[in-house]
Chains A and B, each alone.
Chain A
Amino acid sequence: MTPPYALSRLLIYLVLSVGAIAMAFPFYWMLATSLKSPQEAQQARPIWVPERLKPANWRVAARLGAEGGSPLWGGYQDGRSVTLRIYTGRMGPEPQVFIPTAVGAFSDPRAEGTQIRTRYQEDHWEITFTNVSGESFRLLPAVVLLSKSYASYRPELPPDAVRSSGDDWRLEWVNLAPGALGYVFHNYREAWLAAPFGRYFFNSFITAGTQVLVGLLLAAMTAFALARIEFPGKNLVWLMILATLMIPGEVLLIPSYILLSRLEWINTYYALVVPWLASVFGIFLLRQFYLSLPRDLFDAARMDGASYWTQLVRIALPLSIPGLVTYGIFTFLGAYNALLWPLIVTDRPEMYTIQRGLQVFIGEAGSDYGALMAASTLAILPIVLGYFLAQKQFIQGVARSGIK
């Protein structure tokens, strides 16, 4: 007999939830890490909620950002002063403050053109940075050396890193004038500016978009002809398309690369798009669909003098929109998520697709896991957003691929 109803329901939900948590965890971890400072990310004990996600810090970040530039994105503009308070409760040794200079830089106008003033007020140290360099900067990094003789201390904005340095605590901020968004999305902004991600996205969308649009048209034309037009040689064509189905992708890598380099198409959109325009999968899918449409529909149109082209455009295409969407989603996913092909046919950053760019970025970012996870999040964002917009089509499209 079946176990008691309520208990079995509970069990179902329990198993499903445990599985769902395991499936979703990497996404949570990616998002959380992308909002962490390096020191937060590199903890032996994981930090579940990063400082940058706490609203109290956003307010301070917005104020500091407004002092240096704008409340949203911050900045350290010429002539502005940014003031940070560190609550210590009593007046002890004066903290030492400086702006870290880039390693190996000959001169650093930001560090040299900043007047730093520290004074004690009531219960806190007030540190004021004034930009007199005549230039504006995006970030204001700062280091404060605070004596360990203070029993407790609380800076308004939590430092991104706290280290021990002799008799002092070394408090480090990557950006003291971040603004609210600049604070939360620090890693995103830095990752975005570290590599031409805008260009990568553009390339990805152009490539995937062209593949979908042109590929759809070609597949629909071929499928329609194979399903609905009697022409000599049709069986031969069909046989050839069936034969193509057996060729695995790896076989094509080397010869296609040689072909493309003979054509001097390496590092062009042609190389990214043209070899994948004709899709046997799409032809199969749509042919099946057109075969299932009633014959009379087309015969009637033929009687009324509609040419085959008109039949295709006016009858077949509108009726096959579900199939077209399925194929379109698959093609877009495949093109957008591909790494191997862009890896082979592009070696100049201006032609990288987003996945190729991300792969290079992973190699370069080293141990900056915050920026790495931020870049990864950016790379998957368009597809995830698209999924939430067209959830039904995604699921149906994938499900349909399994039903033959």
Chain B
Amino acid sequence: MAVLLALVRLAVALELLPPWAYGVGAILLLGVTLEAMFRGFQAALLPGIGLLLVGIGWGYGNTPAVLLALLGVGALYWAWAPRMSEREQASFWGWVLVWPSLGLLLVWQIFPSLYALWLSFLDRFNFIGQSRFAGLLNYEILLTRDPLFWKAMGNTFWFVIFTVPLGILLATVVAILLNERVRLLGFFRTLYFLPYITALTAAAAVWDWIYHPEFGFLNWVLGTPGLDWLSTPQGIFALAMAPLGIHLQGFWAGPSVAFVAIMVMSLWHLLGYQVVVILAGLQNIPKEYYEAAQLDGASWWQQQRYITWPLLSPTTFFLSTLGLIGAFQVFTQVLIMTPTGGVLQDTLTITLYLYNKGFRDSDFSYASAIAVVVFTVILVLTLVQQRVLERRVNYET
């Protein structure tokens, strides 16, 4: 019986597959129902099944059909419920409650991921013309002959190196200070938190204006009129070393000035989130530890170093994982502040590159190859991070 119920559920989920699947589902279901009727169940089953089939067969695009299908399920349940055992009811409800999410995840997450993998093996897939199977060609070009991809990877690397430790450090300092029974806690917290809920589009527009070469506020503060932050492709390490007579090239030149400007903006945007999360982590640390440490004569610094920092490690671990994944998704601020990816593509990020390849150059298969590579990199990095850092993370509770 449970299998029958699973079939009911399956048929309902099938509405998201190509048309011929309706037919198969319908025949299966009808057969099963007829068998159940011959076995002596209520005749009320038939209208329920009928409604369900009509609803599904009509198509999932229109609301009445979906409602009809739901009505069918309802009728089925009503007809069947008195005869169902506890276990069967549980399985019926379990599947009924699970399938909408499951179906959506299948169609919009799992299937597209596999589809991306398939697309990445094709030769220049776009909507025009035929595309051929090209094997690993896209990957070969991407990994060995594409300087822009490596530029984007380099920028992502710098983004992680600069924003993750710095962000967590700043946020920890702010959170520890806020946790010192500060008055106006709500006021301070609001000010630190507001950037996080601000839409990146608007925030990037404001920072673009602050960075403006002629009328920007930053140039007035620093007394550097005319410095065009967002159009300066020189790497900061190269600039720092130039007076010493050392000329750094390529990757070692470091992130460009423009990209540093974008990183500062991103740091500002995310800091509030990190502060709030760390503050919650701090409040989970039992007060007794500090009291005991004070009795033993530990200084404030020692308390922070030997109690707060180790016990905060699950939170910082969580934040650094999030920062790592987030670095691969940097897009909005770059698009707004340097719409083309900056001078010499110096602010190109992975997601912007993927967007450019897919939606500006209409090379969906190449973009898919980028996506698959990113997926693999993120997976490997998180696994490595888990292995390496997990050992150092101190789980209390």
Interface residues on A, range: 35 or more
Q: How far does the Cβ of A343 sit from chain B's closest Cβ, in whole Å? A: 8
Cross-chain contact of A391 among B94, B101, B190, B201 (Cβ < 8 A): B190
Decide if A221 is an interface residue (CB 8 Å cutoff).
yes
State in angstroms the CA–CA spacing of A342 and B241 once bound together: 43
State in angstroms the CA–CA spacing of A90 and B212 once bound together: 42
Cross-chain contact of A224 among B97, B281, B314, B367 (Cβ < 8 A): B97
Question: In the complex where A23-B195, A252-B113 touch, is A221 in contact with B100 (Cβ < 8 A)?
Answer: yes
Decide if B134 is an interface residue (CB 8 Å cutoff).
no
Decide if A261 is an interface residue (CB 8 Å cutoff).
yes
Which residues of chain A from 334 to 372 have any CB-CB distance to chain B below 8 Å in the complex?
A: 336-337, 339-340, 343-344, 354-355, 358-359, 362-363, 369, 372
Q: How far does the Cβ of A302 sit from chain B's closest Cβ, in whole Å? A: 8
Which chain B residue lies CB-closest to A233?
A: B6
State in angstroms the CA–CA spacing of A383 and B203 once bound together: 13
Cross-chain contact of B2 among A16, A41, A232 (Cβ < 8 A): A232
Interface residues on B, range: 35 or more
Q: How far does the Cβ of A60 sit from chain B's closest Cβ, in whole Å? A: 27
Contact with A along B107-134 (1 / 0, CB 8 A): 1111111011001000000010000000
Q: How far does the Cβ of B296 sit from chain A's closest Cβ, in whole Å? A: 13
State in angstroms the CA–CA spacing of A346 and B238 once bound together: 41
Which residues of chain A from 203 to 236 have any CB-CB distance to chain B below 8 Å in the complex?
A: 218-219, 221-222, 224-226, 229-234
Q: How far does the Cβ of A235 sit from chain B's closest Cβ, in whole Å? A: 12
Q: Contact between B98 and A221 (Cβ–Cβ < 8 Å)?
A: yes
Contact with B along A5-34 (1 / 0, CB 8 A): 000100011011001101110110110010
Cross-chain contact of A240 among B102, B178, B359 (Cβ < 8 A): B102
Q: Contact between A247 and B375 (Cβ–Cβ < 8 Å)?
A: yes
Which chain A residue lies CB-closest to B315?
A: A402
Q: Contact between A222 and B101 (Cβ–Cβ < 8 Å)?
A: yes
- Interface of B, secondary structure class, is helix
Question: In the complex where A16-B188, A46-B220, A246-B379 touch, is A41 in contact with B215 (Cβ < 8 A)?
Answer: yes
Q: How far does the Cβ of B263 sit from chain A's closest Cβ, in whole Å? A: 15
Q: How far does the Cβ of B221 sit from chain A's closest Cβ, in whole Å? A: 9
Q: Contact between A20 and B192 (Cβ–Cβ < 8 Å)?
A: yes
Q: Contact between A44 and B220 (Cβ–Cβ < 8 Å)?
A: yes
Cross-chain contact of A337 among B200, B273, B335, B351 (Cβ < 8 A): B200
Cross-chain contact of B201 among A15, A358, A404 (Cβ < 8 A): A358
Stretch of B41-49, B158-166, B326-334 with 4 or more beta carbons under 8 angstroms from chain A: B326-334
Q: Contact between B354 and A250 (Cβ–Cβ < 8 Å)?
A: yes
Stretch of A111-119, A148-156, A158-166, A273-281 with 4 or more beta carbons under 8 angstroms from chain B: A273-281
Contact with A along B334-363 (1 / 0, CB 8 A): 011001000000000011001100110000
Which chain B residues border A393 with CB–CB below 8 Å?
A: none
Which chain B residues border A27 with CB–CB below 8 Å?
A: 194, 198, 206
Q: Contact between A398 and B198 (Cβ–Cβ < 8 Å)?
A: no
Cross-chain contact of A387 among B104, B197, B200, B203 (Cβ < 8 A): B197
Decide if B95 is an interface residue (CB 8 Å cutoff).
yes
Decide if A297 is an interface residue (CB 8 Å cutoff).
no
Decide if B372 is an interface residue (CB 8 Å cutoff).
yes
Q: Contact between A372 and B108 (Cβ–Cβ < 8 Å)?
A: no
Q: How far does the Cβ of B397 sit from chain A's closest Cβ, in whole Å? A: 10
Stretch of B20-28, B31-39, B85-93, B249-257 with 4 or more beta carbons under 8 angstroms from chain A: B85-93
Which chain B residues border A241 with CB–CB below 8 Å?
A: 101-102, 105
Stretch of A63-71, A123-131, A182-190, A306-314 with 4 or more beta carbons under 8 angstroms from chain B: A306-314
Among A225, A250, A277, A403, residue most surrounded by chain B Cβ atoms (within 10 Å): A250
Which chain B residues border A224 with CB–CB below 8 Å?
A: 97
Decide if A255 is an interface residue (CB 8 Å cutoff).
yes
Q: How far does the Cβ of A198 sit from chain B's closest Cβ, in whole Å? A: 17
Decide if A137 is an interface residue (CB 8 Å cutoff).
no
Decide if A45 is an interface residue (CB 8 Å cutoff).
yes
Question: In the complex where A222-B102, A274-B108 touch, is A383 in contact with B198 (Cβ < 8 A)?
Answer: yes
Question: In the complex where A230-B90, A243-B110, A380-B202 touch, is A251 in contact with B375 (Cβ < 8 A)?
Answer: yes
State in angstroms the CA–CA spacing of A254 and B367 once bound together: 7
Q: Contact between A254 and B358 (Cβ–Cβ < 8 Å)?
A: yes
Can you list 16 A-B pairs with a CB-CB distance of less than 8 A? A19-B170, A23-B192, A33-B209, A42-B215, A218-B101, A221-B97, A222-B102, A241-B105, A250-B328, A253-B367, A337-B200, A355-B199, A376-B201, A395-B193, A402-B318, A403-B280
Which A residues lie at the B interface, using CB under 8 A?
Answer: 1-3, 8, 12-13, 15-16, 19-20, 22-24, 26-27, 29-30, 33, 41-46, 218-219, 221-222, 224-226, 229-234, 237, 240-241, 243-244, 246-259, 261, 274-278, 280, 283, 307-309, 312, 333, 336-337, 339-340, 343-344, 354-355, 358-359, 362-363, 369, 372-373, 376-377, 379-380, 383-384, 387, 391, 394-395, 398-404
